Amino acid sequence: MPITLRDTVAEDESFLFELYASTRAEEMALVPWNDEQRKAFLTMQFSAQDSYYRERFSDAGFSVILRDDLPVGRFYVLRDKDEIRILDITILPASRSNGIGTALLSELLTEAMESRKPVRIHVETFNPSVRLFERLGFKSIAEEGFNFLMEWRAEKEARAGEKRC
């Protein structure tokens, strides 16, 4: 099960839309819209999110997650001078709970440790992935509306930060 990343390309748009739609499936099941209305709403929301990410975080890496060379998710990461910010990590429902997210995040945490940077991500408070981030050592450092701002620091870096305060 080789997991690899590659930069997104224009031809990924339909996959990325379906991936995005999979994250809203439970919510869409509750609205009294027909399929055409759901698709129009999701298309608008997907486009708004994608535009926001690419305009606000133009220096970020926008990657498709591949498992055995097949697309199974997306991993958007901003490597800033002071932090590594995970903008998004989404995996298709059929590929979740198979260690893909853990493997990618573990690699990113190794990079963060080597570069001596914290890793931060906003996660919806009700998102099951909160447990994954906690298991990997992320701590909730702020609650902003329906989101936690979660942060990971290497223990050595965390202690050094505490001493400076």
pLDDT digits (tens), the chain, 165 positions: 689 999 999 999 999 999 999 999 999 999 999 999 999 999 999 999 999 999 999 999 999 999 999 999 999 999 999 999 999 999 999 999 999 999 999 999 999 999 999 999 999 999 999 999 999 999 999 999 999 999 999 875 454 445 444
Q: According to the model, what pLDDT value does residue 154 have?
A: 84
**Quick one: which of 63, 77, 90, 59 has its CA closest to 6?**
63
Q: What is the pTM of this model?
A: 0.90
Can you give the pLDDT at residue 156? 53
- pLDDT at position 159 is 47
Which domains, from first to last, does the chain contain? 3-164 (3.40.630.30)
Q: Which residues pair with 86 in a beta bridge?
A: 77, 121
Give the model's pLDDT for residue 84: 98
**DSSP letter, residue 123:** E
DSSP class of 93 = G
**C-beta of residue 8 within 8 angstroms of C-beta of residue 63:** yes
What CA–CA distances, in Å, run from 1 to 68, 95, 109? 6, 11, 21
